[in-house]
Amino acid sequence: MSTIDDSSSAVFVETHTRHLLLVTQSLFFFALAWCLILNHSATAENDGISFYGVHHETVALLIEGYAVVFVGLWRTSIHFRAADVAAQTWLCLRAIAILLFILLATPYNRGAFLNWTHMIAGVLGALFQLEVALQLVHEGRSFRTVIGLVVLLIGGLIAAASLPDWHFEYPLQGEIVFQVGFGCRRRDFNAPFERRTDQIRIWRLPNARAKTPARNLT
């Protein structure tokens, strides 16, 4: 395969992944925004995004939103694995995707066991998202990537501070900011593919030179 073919393939995968994430993340935030329109009560603000997974008017919307996110994350993990991205990154993406449905399957208002299971799944999902964000910063650091990470961390801190019972009740706002911080890093997901394209070009260049026939100087 030629350098052009390899590079074109990497660019195609990069473009496909970028478009896939754009569509799935846009659909998720649309579903979340619609949930907020339908119910933005004090209970929703106190219980966070999970409230929309138990409220009868918004359950279907949240399931659809999580389903499209699952597809986007899982497909991205497949591309990451093919691009030889660090295993912990694409494994984290798959873990996040699976945990979304664990969150839906464990309504927090149906007893202590489901509540604790739901809480643990949510914390693990946030930690995996943070790990992916840090890996993407490592792949390609820029002002945009750092800002995205800062937004994610601010949202995470607000949500975490809302867990204890000390009358700081902003979990919904914190979770939304956290997801915005993770979602706005869509372009950062291209860094592994850009690195792979550069590696292909560097690796192919010596081979191309070696195959270049020598001039007949006589």
Residue 97 or residue 162, greater confidence: 97
Q: Is residue 151 part of a domain?
A: yes
For the whole model, what pTM was predicted?
0.81
Banded model confidence at residue 197, pLDDT cuts 50, 70, 90: very low
What is the mean predicted confidence (pLDDT) over 108-120?
A: 95
Q: How many residues does the chain have?
A: 218
Banded model confidence at residue 97, pLDDT cuts 50, 70, 90: very high
Q: How deeply is 170 buried, as exposed, middle or buried, from its count of CB atoms within 10 A (0-12, 13-18, 19+)?
A: middle
Percent of the chain with pLDDT over 70: 78
How much is the mean pLDDT over the chain? 83
Q: Is residue 214 part of a domain?
A: no
Q: Which residue has the tokens 């914190």?
A: 174
Q: Is residue 212 part of a domain?
A: no
Q: Is residue 31 part of a domain?
A: yes
Residues 6+ apart with CB under 8 A from 203: none
Q: Rounded to an integer, what is the distance from CA 97 to the centroid of its chain?
A: 9
What is the mean predicted confidence (pLDDT) over 113-139?
A: 92
Q: Is residue 216 part of a domain?
A: no
| CA-wise closest residue to 155 among 175, 125, 131, 130 | 175
Banded model confidence at residue 209, pLDDT cuts 50, 70, 90: very low
Banded model confidence at residue 190, pLDDT cuts 50, 70, 90: low
Does residue 38 carry a pLDDT above 50?
Answer: yes
Banded model confidence at residue 105, pLDDT cuts 50, 70, 90: very high
Q: Which residues form the domain of 161?
A: 3-191
Q: Cβ(106)–Cβ(50) under 8 Å?
A: no
Choose the weakest-confidence range: 55-69, 160-174, 192-206: 192-206
Instruction: Name the domain count of the chain.
Output: 1
Q: Which residue has the tokens 């052009």?
A: 4
Q: Is residue 203 part of a domain?
A: no
User: In terms of DSSP H, where are the helices of 140-190?
Assistant: 143-161, 171-183
Q: Is residue 166 part of a domain?
A: yes
Residue 34 or residue 185, greater confidence: 34
What is the mean predicted confidence (pLDDT) over 46-56?
A: 95
pLDDT of residue 91: 96
Q: Is residue 7 part of a domain?
A: yes
Residue 191 or residue 162, greater confidence: 162
Give residue-wise pLDDT tens across range 154-183: 999 999 998 877 778 899 999 999 999 998
| CA 109 – CA 88 distance, rounded (Å) | 33
